[in-house]
Amino acid sequence: MDIKALIAQMTLEEKAGLCSGADFWHTKAVERLGIPATMVSDGPHGLRKQDDKVDHLGVNDSIKAVCFPAACATAASFDRALLTRMGEAIGDSCQHEKLSVVLGPAVNIKRSPLCGRNFEYFSEDPYLAGEMAAAFIHGVQSRSVGTSIKHFVANSQEHRRMSSSAEVDERTLREIYFPAFETAVKREQPWTVMCSYNRLNGVYASEHPWLLTEVLRNEWGFEGYVMSDWGAVADRVAGLAAGLDLEMPSSNGFNDRKIVEAVKNGTLDEALVDQAVERILNIVFRYTENAKPDTPWDKGAQHLLAADIAAECMVLLKNEGGVLPLSKEEKIAFIGEFAEKPRFQGGGSSHINCFKTTSALQAAEGLKVRYARGYSAQEDATSDELIAEAVEAAKAAKVAVVFAGLPDVYESEGYDRSHMRMPDCQNRLIEAVAAANPNTVVVLHNGSPVEMPWIDRVKGVLEAYLGGQAVGAATVRVLFGDANPCGRLAETFPKKLSDNPSYLTYGGEGNTAVYNEGVFVGYRYYDRREAEVLFPFGYGLSYTDFVFSDLRLSAAEITDRDTLRATVKVKNTGSRAGKTVVQLYVGDVESSVFRPVRELKGFEKVELQPGEEKEVSFTLSKRAFAYWNTQIHDWHVESGEFRVEVGYSSRDIAASAAVRVESTVRIPRHYDLNSIFLDILDDPRGREIIAPLLKTMREGFGSSEDEKSDAASEAITEEMNLAMLNYMPLRTMLSFAGEKADPAALEQILNKLNES
């Protein structure tokens, strides 16, 4: 298809019309030129395809589909191949349903546990989020269906999401909020990128030229089209000029006419309209020319796949005394309404109309399981009668399993949580059951961290997250040992909300949300502060044991242009087959800027039989050691020693090795009379140039050591003199050098220091 030739035949009105949707879910057609309409659909963990009645937040029913685990769960798998399999399944579903683009994945950073949409996002860590997103995109697009990675960018709160401005500094954007998008774009080229509702530093994301053109296209090489989130367009003409190609949904012609008017009055270059149309049509025809509507959609097989995926994502948080796995020969109590009616997805635009669900109670049919309701999720209520029934069931069982978590109303697109607590009725139930049976296990269904005031009174905690429609089957497999838990937390669980680094400013004041914590998001903050947490990033237990050993680096010294290979041995020292996640972190030992203690720069999931050992390797390049330098507006490695660590979590490091990285980039420095000696001496070249001046300064401080009294020598040491000298500006040499003061000589030194 010669798209440029096609565009040349279009009227301005037709071109402007193609830059917005035909309705809620379709792009426009131009029948006279053979341009078809295509359909897009939510969502990241299953299809929410709507036919007649349409809406954005999932109020009206969509077609029957398969709900896979949400991103809060799949990120905990730390398994790229698993995300690709899930993407392939969703891609097949899209082909069957004639959908050109699935609206996902969502990769916004979990800045606070309060974000109402955290269940739809992967992680607090940008490296992990980027790896998961790229794997998912690869799977979907391998089926010739597009993805729309979202929401670009800094959409980490739902509160005032359509009006607030995320105030984020350059370094924080580059190190925390950009990388997941950057990784996905550079590695997998998603067909589309969806911009966020919010402003970024005062400018709406939908009309932000630096964001949509300079960074996304010019720096990262994005080739697809940029689409708006539904209703995110403030100024359509400014948006088109900035790089927003497709407005969704339809504006009913209102904004199309604004585009035509702007071209005619000369305030918008028609070439920009042509460019947007070309980008849109490239994707339209990429899909239509590879459409396979006869692709089968085996929902039953995908239900089984959803169960397999959910089992891989569950995180065993506590297993005191080996209370898990459960014995199929013992009497077990399942307590809590979520055992019968599991909460397995979040509310809003990603809500799937499931063709089938499997609860834990259904999956445990045939086992010695007794059920007690315990509470009402709809009313957030319990009663003395429900508690008494639960206690009775617990007392009669070997192990009592309480299914708890957050009801639907607590977590949804469109608003944030106001606290981190579970419903009081559930906490009360857990306390009562734990008092009745010392072998109490809690299974959690939630999309974000919760406080656990009962943690010391239960023996086991299994984090199931929002595990999709087959979560009950997966939970029973894990509880009874048919599957060995192998998930790891993709986010830190703080003990209480006020421990979170964004606590004081989250949500913002009015329409301004300042990201004061900077790069210290999640474990980057907790680890740097050495703060006690409930469960750290990367944490998770297994029914077997693993040992990491013999960490080796390919070199002791490298430059920032080299790559470093790290290898480590992993051994299953337990009695069961299982999987573990080898997590590799990098930390700068001494830095001139504030940096985290360690940052995740690699991970691999490894499956091992009892006694089996494997070697895992990682390749680290410049980005693993670099920070974003705002002086040069680029990634920069400071010369010095770095720690390369492998661990079971960010708080449980098994092995560490050192490497010296030498920077090949000299950062230009400018000095003046107010520059202090400390900064000049930090520069090896500056230290050499300033040496004669230092000698003059020392002599100017007073008499020689021989002439000083003993009392003076004891009171002011040479070390103290040097320490004080560090903070003196260059200009002070004119005061302290006495008769040897020479303004001309000082000027010469300054000129030499500032030579490139």
Whether 703 shows a pLDDT value over 50: the answer reads no
- 496-547, pLDDT tens digit by residue? 999 999 999 999 999 999 999 999 999 999 999 999 999 999 999 999 999 9
For residues 325 and 460, give the distance between their C-alpha atoms in angstroms, rounded to a whole number: 10
Helices (H) and strands (E) in the chain, counts: 24, 27
**pLDDT mean over 191-210:** 98
Q: Is 229 a catalytic residue?
A: yes
DSSP 8-state secondary structure symbol assigned to residue 45: T
Whole-model pTM over 0.75: yes
Which pLDDT score, from 0 to 100, does residue 704 have? 47
What dihedral angle (degrees, nearest 10) is formed by the CA atoms of 352, 355, 361, 365?
A: -160
What string of DSSP letters covers 54-104? --SSS-S---EE--PPPHHHHGGGT-HHHHHHHHHHHHHHHHHTT-SEE--
**pLDDT mean over 61-89:** 96
The chain-wide mean pLDDT, for the chain, equals 94
Residue corresponding to tokens 């007690």: 372
Whether 24 shows a pLDDT value over 80: the answer reads yes
CA angle (339 as vertex; 334, 342 as ends), nearest 5: 165
Domains defined for the chain, CATH in brackets: 3-154+181-288 (3.20.20.300), 299-529 (3.40.50.1700), 546-662 (2.60.40.10), 677-753 (no CATH)
Q: Are 76 and 316 in contact (CB under 8 A)?
A: no
User: What are the structure tokens assigned to 617, written together?
Assistant: 């390797």
Higher pLDDT, 743 or 284: 284
For residues 605 and 619, give the distance between their C-alpha atoms in angstroms, rounded to a whole number: 16
- 217-276, pLDDT tens digit by residue? 999 999 999 999 999 999 999 999 999 999 999 999 999 999 999 999 999 999 999 999
The b/e string for 624-648 (b: 16+ C-beta within 10 A; e otherwise) is bbbbbbeeeeebbbbeeebbbbbbb
The b/e string for 208-232 (b: 16+ C-beta within 10 A; e otherwise) is beebbbebbbeebebebbbbbbbeb
User: E strands, 304-383, where?
Assistant: 315-319, 332-335, 353-354, 369-372
Which pLDDT score, from 0 to 100, does residue 694 have? 73
- 612-662, pLDDT tens digit by residue? 999 999 999 999 999 999 999 999 999 999 999 999 999 999 999 999 999
Selecting among 42, 229, 256, 588, the annotated active-site residue is: 229
Which pLDDT score, from 0 to 100, does residue 56 have? 54
Query: What separation, in Å, do the N-terminal and C-terminal C-alpha atoms of the chain show?
Result: 53
For residues 705 and 702, give the distance between their C-alpha atoms in angstroms, rounded to a whole number: 9
- 410-435, pLDDT tens digit by residue? 999 999 999 999 999 999 999 999 99
Which distant-in-sequence residues (6+ apart) come within 8 Å of 746 by Cβ? 673, 693, 730, 733, 734
User: What are the structure tokens assigned to 448, written together?
Assistant: 């974000």
